[in-house]
Amino acid sequence: MNIKEEIKEIMPEVINLRRTFHMHPELGFQEFETSQIISSYLENLGLEVKKNIAKTGVLGILKGKEEGKTVLIRADIDALPIEELNDVPYKSKNKGAMHACGHDGHTAILLGTAKVLTKYKDLLKGTVKFAFQPAEELPPGGAELMIKEGILENPNVDKVYALHLANHLPAGKIGIREGIFCAQADAFTIKVKGKGGHGSAPDKTVDPIIISTYIVQALQVIPSREIDPHTPFVLSVCKIQSGNAFNVIPEEAEIKGTVRSFDKMLAEKVAKRIEIISKNIAQAFRGEVELEYEFGYPPGKNDEKEAKFVRKIAEEVVGKENVEEDKPSMGGEDFSYFLEERPGVMFWLGSRNEEKGLIHPHHSSYFDFDESVMAIGIEMFVRIVLENLL
């Protein structure tokens, strides 16, 4: 069994797949062409394939010769509503859509993994499920829906794994955390209602702009005075919109922002505090507010035992010196729904390459990653499965 050699052989095909996905990016729940390519590829490998799970999701099932545990590996397959500004031969052909988070790479890595593992089919004691998930970037996302549609059952899944390409880590490095690795990312909108009028006669109005400025300031009291200083927490107002003339006090204002935390219960408390603070401020100044609070994906939490297990494999694949603990991210990730249901791990696959100019962050119009690291991703997944099922 020479895994590295087998992966090397299929790398041109994996890169080709990644570029095909990159050229034809599709947004959440619209990944029709993408899932078509995925299903045909898996069918050609001889896998059992289930289509249209959570609209555009695909599940490939590889059964070993003997019964045993079931391991699920997940790749997200959706793109973002971003216009690509890279000048590369595989530039996006779909206007206004771009694989700017690396999900094209995740999909190609998982297809490559399926190809390699198919060769070891007769050695496997158990089952591998390859889950291609739609709409990671589009809350409420595709993960929860795929789980609701039963992909963790029949046969019952024992463990779940995923990776994310990471341009904050150099190519050749792997980041793994035990426990929390990413945040719950919530969104809120506060509509402030006043009474419009002439800018020269403010006494005849209820000014929603004044009310909004007080609300924005007061909300910062939540992180600074209401939350344990040792608890990672972010509350950012990122949009405030009102009015369109220098001499008109508008009727309404709108405040939008995000809350990031590592604790579901804390997020629920904060949602209530935002409501009380903004309502009372508005009332004090004779206005009204309406709050819409959307809870995002739950915080991502790796199982500690599984994280140790994956770390050991990572040390074999890239060397001990290249495995990092890495800080938890304040970003959200819907693989957290899988990790709420079953023990498992999501790890970061370093993909930054200064020499090749691959330095842009995820979700940038210039995002691109070092394709050679896909070989590391495949090796990680193949070894994780073999360690579980040999």
77 binds Zn ion (CB under 5 A): no
Residue count, binding to Zn ion (CB under 5 A): 1
- Return the sign of the alpha-carbon dihedral for residues 8, 12, 13, 15: positive
Q: Rounded distance, CA 184 to CA 110, Å?
A: 26
Contact 92, 34 (CB under 8 A): no
The maximal CA–CA distance of the chain, rounded, in angstroms, is 82
Closest Cα to residue 126, out of 158, 97, 173? 158
**Strand, coil or helix: what is 254?**
strand
Q: In this complex, which beta carbon is closest to Zn ion, that of residue 104 or of residue 263? A: 104
- Residues 87 to 106 in contact with Zn ion, rule: CB under 5 A: 101
Q: What is the closest distance, in whole angstroms, from the C-beta atom of residue 272 to Zn ion in the complex?
A: 29
Closest Cα to residue 299, out of 268, 327, 273, 330? 330
Q: Work out the number of other CB atoms within 10 angstroms of the CB of residue 390.
A: 13
Place of tokens 């995925």: 38
Q: In this complex, which beta carbon is closest to Zn ion, that of residue 101 or of residue 160? A: 101
| 293 part of the active site | no
Q: Site map for Zn ion, 209-238, x if CB under 5 A?
A: ------------------------------
Q: In this complex, which beta carbon is closest to Zn ion, that of residue 139 or of residue 196? A: 139
Torsion, Cα of 228, 233, 239, 242 (10° steps): -20
- Return the sign of the alpha-carbon dihedral for residues 332, 335, 341, 344: negative
| 161 part of the active site | no
Q: Site map for Zn ion, 99-138, x if CB under 5 A?
A: --x-------------------------------------
Q: What is the closest distance, in whole angstroms, from the C-beta atom of residue 265 to Zn ion in the complex?
A: 26
What token pair was written down for 355? 């020499």
Q: What is the closest distance, in whole angstroms, from the C-beta atom of residue 321 to Zn ion in the complex?
A: 27
Q: Which of 297, 306, 324, 337 is catalytic?
A: 297
Q: Which of 84, 137, 144, 371 is catalytic?
A: 371
Q: What is the closest distance, in whole angstroms, from the C-beta atom of residue 111 to Zn ion in the complex?
A: 17
Q: What is the closest distance, in whole angstroms, from the C-beta atom of residue 40 to Zn ion in the complex?
A: 24
Q: What is the DSSP letter of 195?
A: B
Give the nearest residue (CB) to Zn ion.
101
Q: In this complex, which beta carbon is closest to Zn ion, that of residue 101 or of residue 380? A: 101
List, by residue number, the catalytic residues.
297, 371
Residues near Zn ion, by CB under 5 A: 101
